[in-house]
Structure 1
Amino acid sequence: MRRIHWGRLLRRSLSLCMAVLALWLLLLGVGAGAAERSLEALGQNEDFVTAALRLELGPAGQESLPFWQRLAVGQSSLLEANPPKHSETPEPLESAPLPNAQPAPDHDDMTEEPPPAASEPGDVVERTLIPTTTQGYVTGAGLYLYNRTDLSVDLAAVAQADLCFSLAPAEAGPQILIIHSHATEAYTPQGEDTYVPSDNNTRTTDERYNMLRVGDEMERVFTEMGLSVLHDRELYDYPQYNGSYTRSGPAVEAYLAQYPTIKLVLDVHRDALVGSDGTVYKAVTAIDGAKTAQVMLVVGSDAGGTEHPHWQENLALAAKLQKGLDTLYPTLARPMTLRQSAYNQNLLPGSLLVEVGSHGNSLQEALAGARAFARAAGAVFLGLVRESVG
């Protein structure tokens, strides 16, 4: 027989009563039409959504919501599986030759095989990759960008720019496409998370352990937040790694043609971090005391010669997401990176490459990072939903 949690039942009953009472008072004061518009505006207000998420994550931010809203938001089941409350930065590690916060060479490029993982988890060096200096970065609006192109970027202006698109309501169709140009990328085996490698000891076709599993975790959180997601499960990098983006690009185009409601395309990968001396690193932070893989937003450009008319719009989206990540989880995100390759981001403004951890991380660390990223990104995405399909 299922155990009844009387305390939770009492809180939820009280929360429901208070919410109904508040709605009744609102209807009396302003009328049904105005009340409906007010509630819709509240649900689409990015600040409210962020504050609600902060309340769900812990005591921080409770003062920003009225009592009845705190009760209602506090009963969400979104974080029951893994409820982080705040971010903590692990003790800094010394004598690490990897440039602080900067990504390794472009191991996710089309023509380059990823390096092997460490033979044992203990051979991996942990680093929390956060900037400690502005040297080597473009900065502005409290953001850091590792610009690996010769393009000029005004990051402060980018952060203030309005996005050129909005999202239709979830009922209209899928809003987000999650795809994996390198779906077989995997993590360092640890504990029960072991797998049979395919061609390389950092890749596997077993979707319980590769990027499809990470995408599933993002999809779950987005869906619980009320967003509509389409998750592509094709292995574009198997059996041939080279040409992965050439194969995934037509799939993105087909999805966009079939589902015009898709305005966000997230190509989810993991990075590969190897120091100049061959040391394997993993990008990790701590959320509620649990090790969590850091994430990195990668923006493609036309610097490599590919026609890409809206890379600035993608960078503006990345800046808004980075702000959201930094607000909820200050050490979750590594600095954004602008690269020469387009990564199929020229197909739609609203396209980004998301690196969840690196090949030195464990799968569980990556899943924790995926959940945290989805919560913060979902708050931003909910703020882009418009009232009706135009």
Structure 2
Amino acid sequence: MGDKRRRRDPLRPLRRGVGLGLALAAAWGVSLTADLSGAWSALQRWASDSQAVVALMAGELGQPPAETALAGLDGWGRLLVEQSALLSAGTEAVAQRRQAEEETAPAEPIPDLDAEDNDDQTQVELQPPAEPDDVAETTSVGQEGGHYLSQDGVYLYNRSGKELDPSVLSAGSVSFTLGEGPQILILHSHGSEAYSQNDGDLYQESDSFRTTDCAHNVVRVGEEMAEVFRAHGFQVVHDTNLYDYPAYNGAYDRSQAAVKDWLAKYPTIRIVLDVHRDALVGTDGAIYKLISQENGKKVAQVMLVVGTDSGGASHPGWADNLALAVRLQKELISDYVSLARPIALRSSSYNQELSPGSLLVEVGGHGNTLTEALDGARLFAESVSQVLSGMKG
């Protein structure tokens, strides 16, 4: 449909002035033949009320559409803008700016979005939405106070149980380089984790929001990352085994054995990425998807998860894993609007004690679609590739 705008009538102000003058003249004539002293006093009191005058002007001018630049202006402000050619010429630009800000503004974070963090050690029973499209969007962003620590624009959500201050973000170091041979290992401790089917990406569920079909679960997301890394010249090993099926419990023990085998087979591996998807359910049972607007497109947010020794594992070098996460996070927040959620520091180790370059990566949540997850994973890998390219020995 075409762009329909109301044409400005150049004689409208003149007609209003003449009409008002005639009305005043008529009132003056009547006052000469009638005793209107009481009415005149009431009119004077009414005219002294600025709110009443503004209300009268608003009634005459009408309410502007909510999407226009005039929305929110009172009668005086709108009259000033409408009768000024210079100000009127800028209303379209103001409306466009408002629309752009609304499209790019991140959604309000859910209060205590990460408070339900269960460290992935026990399976969460997920329920399908009441309606197919009953999924809410949110954007996870860093906050001040509470469990959050920040330094140089990098936010850390501390769920490790450790008493820490922002200096932890610069306490570790990345001391390794990438040489010849396989450098990156991608695997999935919970490979059957899958996404919403709202975009028509249908699969046979092995459990709610899970499937053993690796074309539709996080294994497919890991392959998307691997393809990007390979395009940047890295040698990647992608382990597509499902370590959470048929049993969820013990998945990290099984993936630990696999990581040890891969590191023994390829000692050149320096980066180990355990790729997952998150699960976000509100206190009211609502399902949430994690969204970032990147280049006008909705993609799934990505979160780096760093394990510690708080859960009892022998992991004295966890600060070095965190140092790598911080280095990657700085590039991510430099490259994208809000692709990266705050780094999460947790009590479990997630087998990260096996290599100082080990991280857990969560791509979106179960409310996201596979398409959104693939798009987010691709952007993540592009950004990470920039950092890793500078680490080649």
1:193 aligned residue (191, 198, 201)? 201
Inter-partner Cα distance in structure 2 for 1:294 and 1:117: 21
1:242 aligned residue (242, 249, 253)? 249
For 2:390, the equivalent position in structure 1 comes to 383
Deviation at residue 276 of structure 1 after TM alignment: 1.3
Deviation at residue 110 of structure 1 after TM alignment: 2.3
Deviation at residue 290 of structure 1 after TM alignment: 1.1
Per the normalisation by structure 2, the TM-score is 0.71
Does 2:107 align with 1:99? no
For 2:181, the equivalent position in structure 1 comes to 173
For 2:121, the equivalent position in structure 1 comes to 110
Inter-partner Cα distance in structure 1 for 2:354 and 2:275: 16
Contact 1:294–1:334 (Cα < 8 Å) also in 2: yes
Letter in 1 for 2:111: P
Q: Percent identity, please.
A: 51
| Closer, same or farther: CA 160–303 of 1 in aligned 2, 3 Å | closer
Deviation at residue 331 of structure 1 after TM alignment: 0.4
| Closer, same or farther: CA 157–277 of 1 in aligned 2, 3 Å | closer
Does 2:192 align with 1:184? yes
Deviations 1:353-376 (A, max 9, x none): 000000000000000100010011
2:154 aligned residue (143, 146, 151)? 143
Deviation at residue 295 of structure 1 after TM alignment: 0.5
Letter in 2 for 1:279: A
| Closer, same or farther: CA 184–321 of 1 in aligned 2, 3 Å | same
| Closer, same or farther: CA 88–286 of 1 in aligned 2, 3 Å | farther
Deviation at residue 223 of structure 1 after TM alignment: 0.6
1:219 aligned residue (226, 234, 242)? 226
| Closer, same or farther: CA 165–205 of 1 in aligned 2, 3 Å | same
Deviation at residue 253 of structure 1 after TM alignment: 0.3
Inter-partner Cα distance in structure 2 for 1:140 and 1:316: 12
Unaligned runs of 5+ in 1: 1-86
1:284 aligned residue (291, 296, 301)? 291
Contact 2:280–2:289 (Cα < 8 Å) also in 1: yes
Deviations 1:278-336 (A, max 9, x none): 11111101111111000001000000111112110010011001101001013001100
Inter-partner Cα distance in structure 2 for 1:89 and 1:354: 27
Deviation at residue 140 of structure 1 after TM alignment: 1.4
Deviations 1:122-143 (A, max 9, x none): 2110001112434431111221
| Closer, same or farther: CA 156–226 of 1 in aligned 2, 3 Å | farther
| Closer, same or farther: CA 379–159 of 1 in aligned 2, 3 Å | farther
Does 2:362 align with 1:355? yes
Q: 3-state DSSP class of the match of 1:110?
A: coil
Aligned pairs for 1:1-390 (under 5 A) are 90-91=104-105, 93=107, 98-99=110-111, 102-103=113-114, 105-107=116-118, 109-118=120-129, 120-156=131-167, 158-159=169-170, 161-168=172-179, 172-198=180-206, 200-386=207-393
For 1:65, the equivalent position in structure 2 comes to none
| Closer, same or farther: CA 117–334 of 1 in aligned 2, 3 Å | farther
For 2:7, the equivalent position in structure 1 comes to none
Q: How many equivalent pairs are there? A: 293
Which of the pair has the greater relative contact order for Cα pairs under 8 Å at 6+ separation? 1
Letter in 2 for 1:181: S
Q: 3-state DSSP class of the match of 1:268?
A: strand
Runs of 4+ in 1 over 4 A off after TM superposition: 87-94
| Closer, same or farther: CA 140–91 of 1 in aligned 2, 3 Å | closer
Q: 3-state DSSP class of the match of 1:298?
A: strand
Contact 1:121–1:360 (Cα < 8 Å) also in 2: no
Deviations 1:40-69 (A, max 9, x none): xxxxxxxxxxxxxxxxxxxxxxxxxxxxxx
Alignment root-mean-square deviation, CA? 2.0
Deviation at residue 113 of structure 1 after TM alignment: 3.0
Letter in 2 for 1:99: P
Inter-partner Cα distance in structure 2 for 1:342 and 1:160: 18
Unaligned runs of 5+ in 2: 1-100
Q: 3-state DSSP class of the match of 2:185?
A: strand
Q: 3-state DSSP class of the match of 2:344?
A: strand
Deviation at residue 121 of structure 1 after TM alignment: 4.6
Inter-partner Cα distance in structure 2 for 1:153 and 1:365: 34
Deviation at residue 99 of structure 1 after TM alignment: 2.0
